[in-house]
Amino acid sequence: MNKSILIVDDEEIIRMSLGEGLKDMGYRVSTAANGAEAEDKVRKDKPVAVFLDMRLSGENGLDVLEKIKKAENEAEVIIMTAYGETQSAVRAIKMGAFDYINKPFDLQEIDLIIKKAIKNAEMQKKLYIYEKEKQSLNSELMGDHPLMKAVKRDIDILAKNDEVTALIKGESGTGKEIVATAIHGNSIRKNSPMLKINCGSIPKQLLESEMFGFEKNAFTGANERKKGLMEVADGGTVFLDEIGEMPIELQPKLLRFIEERKFKRVGGLEDIEVDIRIIAATNKNLEEAILKKEFREDLYYRLNVVPVVLPPLRERGDDILILTDKFLEDYNLKFHKKIKGFTKNAKDVLMGYTWRGNVRELKNIVERIVLLTEEEYIDVDDLPFEIRQNEYGIGNEHVEEFTAVTGVIEKGFSLEKQIEKMEIYYMTQALKKCGNNYSKASEMLGITRFSFKRRVEKYFQ
């Protein structure tokens, strides 16, 4: 914990006496006799609190306060005043001072003020982190593509109707948890808890007790009653991630809960009624799971009241570049970099990549690039190997498949597939040699640009 204190007073006796008292309390103390010294000390020492005299020789304490707040905005400034100067102290608080104290000082009172200042600074820091995290989450829902506009519309509808169960569908990394958080955070339940249960990561035998709790002696090791997450989240939201992985044996209990908002703890006889909203998410095709008897049809229709379908990043067009620029801005700030952007060639490569990991993959890759790059602009060579190998949508699976273009004729041989492999192999080589220029690559292969482009659309898109 930061325990550094700065005392700003033009009277040496005040600096010495107050400083010694604060040192005896365990604080680290530095002093300044004027505004210039104070401004320098707050920049170097970054104190948690500054004791500032309102009357410095030849200077107005309010002017010094303004300089201190600009130099170190996190420092809490406590104004030292003589009796009768309360009006000036109030003006100082309006300008950002934390509190004021009258001379002569009471050290116990000063200690209490410092502790309050430290607590306030910690709270402000937590709020700042929370706001930055919220902004980061919201940034992942950025985009102008019609599919994303539809998602945002669904979020607004669900936020206003907080009793409705929602099912979020989408590939891994598209932002399903972020959508669930946005629905909860914009609803009237936002001040109540939102608890997450990953149905795929909790062992089958523990999932029921984790969700619904258990009574004492319900099973071996149940030495006392335990509330489940459904009970703890009363008034809020429960997010059931990977709902498609929920054991079929547990699904009837969840169905009954959604219908009645009542449940029994494991080993319990009493119905417990709670007011929570259920939001579920899946990257699994639940319709196929129903056909395979892995998911109950009645539960699916109960969950699927208002489905939210998140599109894969590769289908969102220019949203890729919008998100790229936002993540670049975020990581420039995080890593104290000043990268101005991506070159046109780099953007073309990003637009052509398949993004199997979706927004999560893009965010991680931009973080890696910003961390490692010292250039003013990010070019193709700064992109990770896996991205560069996938220029214009040509995937690694194709490159690795064609280490040889000939095959042995045996059972199952397909001349048509072998010819396709050869075409993909030579097109890939031509693109590499020609810097991904379609016209030059088609000329190298002795075919028209139209014919080359048609093959690209057939094999790689």
pLDDT 10s digits, 188-201: 998 888 999 999 88
Residue 60 has pLDDT above 90, yes or no: no
| Per-position DSSP letters for 332-400, written without gaps between them | HHHTT----EE-HHHHHHHHHS--TTHHHHHHHHHHHHHHH--SSEE-GGGS-HHHHTTGGG--HHHHH
- Edge-to-edge order in the sheet of strand 277-282: 194-198, 237-241, 277-282, 166-169, 306-309
Residue 404 has pLDDT above 50, yes or no: no
Q: What pLDDT, in 10s, does the model give residues 433-447? A: 887 888 888 888 888
From 387, 379, 400, select the one nearest 350 (Cα to Cα).
387
* pLDDT band (50, 70, 90) for residue 366: very high
Q: Report the alpha-carbon distance of residue 130 to residue 327 in Å, rounded.
A: 18
Q: Report the alpha-carbon distance of residue 430 to residue 427 in Å, rounded.
A: 5
Among 119-123, 265-269, 322-326, the range scoring the smallest mean pLDDT is 119-123
What is the pLDDT averaged over residues 167-172? 95
**pLDDT value at position 40?**
87
* pLDDT band (50, 70, 90) for residue 92: confident
Q: Is the peptide bond before 104 cis (omega within 30 degrees of 0)?
A: yes
From 62, 68, 125, 120, select the one nearest 95 (Cα to Cα).
62
**pLDDT value at position 395?**
47
Cβ neighbours for 98, distance < 8 A, ≥ 6 positions apart: 49, 76, 77, 78, 113, 116, 117, 120
Beta strands in 20-143, from DSSP E residues, in sequence order? 28-32, 49-53, 55-56, 59-60, 76-81, 99-102
Q: What pLDDT, in 10s, does the model give residues 61-76? A: 888 888 888 776 678 8
* pLDDT band (50, 70, 90) for residue 133: low
Among 82-96, 163-177, 179-193, 400-414, the range scoring the smallest mean pLDDT is 400-414
**pLDDT value at position 393?**
46
Q: Report the alpha-carbon distance of residue 351 to residue 348 in Å, rounded.
A: 5
Q: Report the alpha-carbon distance of residue 6 to residue 446 in Å, rounded.
A: 77
Residue 312 has pLDDT above 60, yes or no: yes
Q: Report the alpha-carbon distance of residue 172 to residue 311 in Å, rounded.
A: 11
**pLDDT value at position 268?**
85
Asked if residues 113 and 99 have their Cβ atoms less than 8 Å apart, the reply is yes
What is the pLDDT averaged over residues 273-288? 94
**pLDDT value at position 278?**
95
From 376, 325, 377, select the one nearest 351 (Cα to Cα).
325
* pLDDT band (50, 70, 90) for residue 220: confident
**pLDDT value at position 421?**
80
Domains assigned to the chain: 4-130 (3.40.50.2300), 147-311 (3.40.50.300), 312-388 (1.10.8.60), 395-461 (1.10.10)
Q: Report the alpha-carbon distance of residue 459 to residue 461 in Å, rounded.
A: 6
From 433, 339, 332, select the one nearest 379 (Cα to Cα).
339
Residue 401 has pLDDT above 50, yes or no: no
Percent of the chain with pLDDT over 70: 89
Percent of the chain with pLDDT over 90: 37
Asked if residues 164 and 306 have their Cβ atoms less than 8 Å apart, the reply is yes
| Residue 420 or residue 362, greater confidence | 362
Q: Report the alpha-carbon distance of residue 68 to residue 74 in Å, rounded.
A: 10
Among 303-312, 356-365, 379-388, the range scoring the smallest mean pLDDT is 379-388
Q: Report the alpha-carbon distance of residue 95 to residue 90 in Å, rounded.
A: 9
Residue 131 has pLDDT above 80, yes or no: no
List the structure tokens of 430: 């031509």
**pLDDT value at position 399?**
44
**pLDDT value at position 301?**
94
What kind and span of H or E run contains 277? strand 277-282
**pLDDT value at position 140?**
65
Among 2-6, 131-135, 274-278, 404-408, the range scoring the smallest mean pLDDT is 404-408
Amino acid at 77: V
What kind and span of H or E run contains 7? strand 4-8
Give the pTM. 0.59
Asked if residues 417 and 397 have their Cβ atoms less than 8 Å apart, the reply is no
Residue 339 has pLDDT above 90, yes or no: yes
**pLDDT value at position 390?**
53
Average model confidence (pLDDT) for the chain? 85
Beta strands in 130-187, from DSSP E residues, in sequence order? 166-169
Q: Rounded to a whole number, what is the distance in angstroms from the first to the last CA of the chain?
A: 55
Determine the 3-state secondary structure of 74 from DSSP: coil
* pLDDT band (50, 70, 90) for residue 128: low
Beta strands in 283-349, from DSSP E residues, in sequence order? 306-309, 341-342
What is the pLDDT averaged over residues 396-424? 62
What is the pLDDT averaged over residues 36-60? 85
* pLDDT band (50, 70, 90) for residue 34: confident
